[in-house]
Amino acid sequence: SAVKFDFTAEILNLGGGYGVKYVESDPYIDIEANIAQVAEMVKSKCRELGIDVPAIRMEPGRSIVADAGLTLYTAGSVKVIPEYKNYVSIDGGMTDNPRFALYGSEYTVALANKMNEECDFNCSVVGRCCECGDIIQENVNLPSSVKRGDIVAVMTTGAYNYSMASNYNRIPRPPIVMLTKTGEYIAVKRESLEDIIKNDL
Task: Give the helix ranges, DSSP H, for the chain.
Answer: 31-49, 99-103, 193-197
In CATH, what is the architecture of 66-171? Beta Barrel (2.40)
- pLDDT, residue 82, reads 94
- pLDDT, residue 2, reads 61
First to last CA, the chain: 55
- pLDDT, residue 99, reads 96
| Domain chopping of the chain, boundaries | 11-64, 66-171
Selecting among 46, 123, 129, 130, the annotated active-site residue is 130
Whether 130 is catalytic is yes
pTM: 0.86
- pLDDT, residue 5, reads 73
Reduce the DSSP state of residue 15 to 3 states and report it. Answer: strand
Burial class (CB in 10 A: 0-12, 13-18, 19+), 38: middle
pLDDT along the chain (201 residues), means of 10: 73 85 89 89 91 89 90 98 96 96 96 97 96 96 98 96 94 96 96 95 92
